[in-house]
Amino acid sequence: MRCERIGHGGASRLERANTLASFDAARAVGVDVIEFDVRAWRGELVLAHTAVHAHAGRRLPLSVALAYLASPPFRGIGLQLDVKHTGIERAVLDALHGAGLLARTMVCSQVAAVLDRFRALDPDVEVGISIGGPVARASRRWRDWRRDVLAGIADRRFDALMAQHRIVDPRLVGDVCDRGGRLYAWTVNERHAIDALRALGVHGIVSGDPRLFG
């Protein structure tokens, strides 16, 4: 099985994340997928990891990003959109449809309600539930995240699990695959960890330095 090489924010260790320069760096290295963050800021969809980044001016309009990623140099590169909050699902879908990019995009979020809303709006959109470390899980009120996520994959509520790499183990990989899902590990910036995750059989690895994929 091929393990997809996914650039975090483009290539966040090489250029500032969520920028056109970072996308160019990721493409130059040879990624399979570019991941980036989407949120609303003052009535506009922008690329920004947190509200603090958006407030500080670190925000690229989603429309500009998608037009750039729809251009010929990025043909064949997949996209993962990490949607940060509810309320923007329709606008994000419309933007993806308008840019002709929905077919090569997976929508991801740590907020399950975001993914449910995307699926309600478009049953064909691919969605991945993102699960972080203990603090992140507590903030999302995951009591038994493994049970609930695996049930969601089995029921086709989620197509994939995007897991913080420290929670990935052989059992989790097997359980996700047995239910017909895919497992992606984030964010991995050490070559030895990338090699270990590849050996476990994950479907893709997100890294801020895609050069580490070798």
For residue 170, give the DSSP letter: H
- pLDDT score of 55: 72
What is the structure's pLDDT at 123?
96
Residue 139: CATH number of its domain? 3.20.20.190
Mind listing the pLDDT tens digit for each residue in 110-146? Answer: 999 999 999 999 999 999 999 998 888 888 888 899 9
Give the whole-angstrom CA distance, residue 87 versus residue 111.
Answer: 11
What is the C-alpha to C-alpha distance for residues 73 and 66, in angstroms, rounded to an integer? Answer: 13
At residue 182, the pLDDT reads 98
Answer yes or no: are the C-beta atoms of 76 and 101 closer than 8 Å: no
Low-confidence ranges of the chain (pLDDT < 50): none
Q: Which domain holds residue 67?
A: 4-213
Give rounded-to-5 percent helix, strand, coil for the chain.
45, 25, 35
Number of domains in the chain: 1
DSSP states of 175-198 as a string? HHHHTT-EEEEE----HHHHHHHH
Pairing state of beta strands 78-83 and 60-61?
unpaired
Q: Cα angle at 87 between 43 and 123, to 5 degrees?
A: 130
Question: 0.85 cut: is pTM over it?
Answer: yes
Neighbours of 131 (CB within 10 A): 22
Cα–Cα distance measured from residue 99 to residue 74, given in angstroms and rounded to the nearest whole number: 13
